[in-house]
């Protein structure tokens, strides 16, 4: 019997595409993990579409503004590269005459792991968004060795987008912690369509849909129901990784 590893596996939040709900899912994970006594750290390696980490469009600022344990702390520490133009990180960096070095990202992740557990790493857009020359988001996920949560829209089109994402992750042998559907648009998806989408996804993936997150009125105090998918994912991961050390 080997010694049990008490670390919670790091989680990489990827989306089926831009605007699928990665930041909201990251927020719920941070809030949930703090409530359970963990010491998580939110990391956004590549932020585009804002001037700096304090901009109103900064994902890090959003997280720090709605997690009570982070209020008053500096969100700049959660962003490695930040660029003005709202486009793929590789091109946004090139627009400013800069390049992204993935070794810098890897070093930052290794250093953060020494002080925090787990890391909640939020990607940029979907898996095949370019982040550096000859490197995409999926390459960054592989580099982090983190388990992946897929944030997907609850409505029309999600079956195709989500299954393509899952297939790509499986081909790279990247651990999938779960799929979470987010339904936060101005017009909510019908329960019939949500049920059909879940049925289709679970038929192919073998039951990896952790749940649905609906519209959140107060991001500082989301309804208890919206934590259920992240709770399920974290508990399943802990149980799986605990068993692996025996």
d(CA 222, CA 66): 10
d(CA 77, CA 84): 18
44 is catalytic: yes
Nearest to 143 by CA among 92, 80, 91: 80
Residue recorded with tokens 């989680």: 11
Looking at 22, 44, 87, 112, which residue is catalytic?
44
Q: Give the distance, in angstroms, between the CA of residue 127 and the centroid of all CA atoms in the same chain.
A: 12
Nearest to 213 by CA among 201, 204, 222, 221: 222
Residue recorded with tokens 């990489």: 12
Q: What are phi and psi of 239, to 5 degrees?
A: -65, -40
Whether the Cβ atoms of residue 158 and residue 152 lie closer than 8 Å to each other: yes
Residues with catalytic function: 44
């Amino acid at each position: 019997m080997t010694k049990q590893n008490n670390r919670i596996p790091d989680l990489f939040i990827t989306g089926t595409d831009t605007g699928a709900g990665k930041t909201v899912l990251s927020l719920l994970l941070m809030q949930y993990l703090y409530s359970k006594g963990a010491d998580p750290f939110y990391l956004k390696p590549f932020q585009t579409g804002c001037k700096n980490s304090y901009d109103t469009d900064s994902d890090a600022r959003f997280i720090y503004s709605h997690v009570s344990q982070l209020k008053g702390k500096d969100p700049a520490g959660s962003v490695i590269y930040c660029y003005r133009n709202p486009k793929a990180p590789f091109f946004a960096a090139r627009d400013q005459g800069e390049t992204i070095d993935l070794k810098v990202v890897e070093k930052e992740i290794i250093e953060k792991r020494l002080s925090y557990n787990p890391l909640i790493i939020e990607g940029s857009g979907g898996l095949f968004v370019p982040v550096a020359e000859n490197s995409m988001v999926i390459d960054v996920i592989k580099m982090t060795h983190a388990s992946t949560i897929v944030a997907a829209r609850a409505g029309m089109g999600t079956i195709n987008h989500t299954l393509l994402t899952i297939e790509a992750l499986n081909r790279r042998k990247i651990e999938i912690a779960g799929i979470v559907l987010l339904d936060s648009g101005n017009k909510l998806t019908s329960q019939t369509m949500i049920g059909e989408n879940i049925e289709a996804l679970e038929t192919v993936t073998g039951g990896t849909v952790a749940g649905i997150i609906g519209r959140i009125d107060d991001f500082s105090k989301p309804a208890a129901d919206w934590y259920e998918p992240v709770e399920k994912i974290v508990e399943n991961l802990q149980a799986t990784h605990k068993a692996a050390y025996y």
